[in-house]
Amino acid sequence: MRDKIYIVGGYYVFANGREKSSSLVHEFDLLGDTFTNKKIVLPVPIDDHVQDVWKDSLLFIINGWSDLANVRETQIYNPSNNIWQKGSPYKIDMIPTFGACGGIIGNNIYVQGGARSDRNSFPSISNYYKGEIQPNNPTQITWSTISSNDSLTSYRSAIIFNGYGGPEPVIVGGSKRSYNYNARDYTSGKLLAPMSSSIILGSAQAEFNNDQILIPSNDLSIPMDIRDWGILRDWSFTLSSNSSNFSVTYLAGGILENGQVSNQILSLTPSFPRNTNSINTDIEPRFFPNPTKSVMNIRYNNLISKHVRIYNSSGNLVDQFYQNEDEFILDLSHLISGIYFYVDSQNQITKKLIKK
């Protein structure tokens, strides 16, 4: 958001097993490639919440867990003046959760699943809620409950917009039951596995995406414990389809079926889940220095015949060329300061470049 990344809340786990929610927000400056010294403190400490950006101007923090209970409130942060505001909370008949999945597209907020607090138990739920943000007063949110089958539980999943070629958001990964930080069921202590099906969040109801089962290959699976994800426009799709509506969602890490932490980065394309790729970070080229004031050295590992395109942060093509050498120099001196994207569609590489 405005060349900044915000890491919101989270929780500490102490040696005795006690957990405490954090009230800190860390701001990372993409252009300076460093964390800022800006002091940002949450009104309500939070973890396992839903967060997303509205119109590149406001950061919405929805639900989550705060020390001893779920949070019903919506916290809204305005980075331009470092001020927090209260958004419309869930209605009284709506169940606040932690570990829910959700996001914002346009003026609509989607929230699905998570775990409710039920005395000493934290069962996962299937509830599907939608909020409409009032454009002239974004603190005002009209919340509504959408129909959902009881079997559509999800926990610490990811939401994909335009993920399988349709207009509805899709819930992927995560698990059907809630668990502690060790990936074991809160009630039984059993080690859990990621969900094998996706959930479509339709306008009238939530339902399983029965046509698309999340088993793209024998050595690739969508993990559980997905706390956040990144969405980028995929310019290679834009060029081939003459459309700017496509995007790629990147999932980093998570927990696999064996309880091990994943080192994979998955790219979920518009044809997802028919086109899910694991990014091999061992063969990704090196870019240095990055940030740069003028030129940047690029070094591949035995990859040749590259058609490279450079886009600015608005998605406009600013340069393109063919490159057959493994090592070459990219001259950015003619470009103004800002964020650019290096797109090598043949080798499935998209890299953020920072020009000082």
Higher pLDDT, 136 or 246: 136
Higher pLDDT, 195 or 271: 195
**In this prediction, what percent of the chain has a pLDDT beyond 70?**
82
What pLDDT score was predicted for residue 220?
Answer: 63
What domains lie within the chain, and their CATH numbers? 1-135 (2.120.10.80), 154-279 (no CATH), 286-355 (2.60.40)
Q: What is the pLDDT of residues 93-145, one digit of tens each?
A: 999 999 999 999 889 999 999 999 886 789 999 999 999 999 999 999 999 99
pTM of the full structure: 0.75
Higher pLDDT, 2 or 77: 77
What pLDDT score was predicted for residue 244?
Answer: 43
Q: What is the pLDDT of residues 56-94, one digit of tens each?
A: 899 999 999 999 899 999 999 999 999 999 999 999 999
Yes or no: say if 57 and 80 are a contact pair by the CB < 8 Å rule. yes
From residue 160, give the alpha-carbon distance in Å to each of 45, 95, 231: 27, 23, 9
Q: d(Cα 246, Cα 238) in Å, to the nearest integer?
A: 7
Of the pLDDT bands very low, low, confident and very high (cuts 50, 70, 90), residue 275 is very low
Q: How many CB atoms lie within 10 A of CB 334?
A: 9
Higher pLDDT, 253 or 313: 253
Higher pLDDT, 170 or 74: 74
Least confident of 43-57, 164-178, 190-204: 164-178
Among 209, 114, 116, 221, CA closest to 173 = 221
Least confident of 30-39, 309-318, 324-333: 309-318
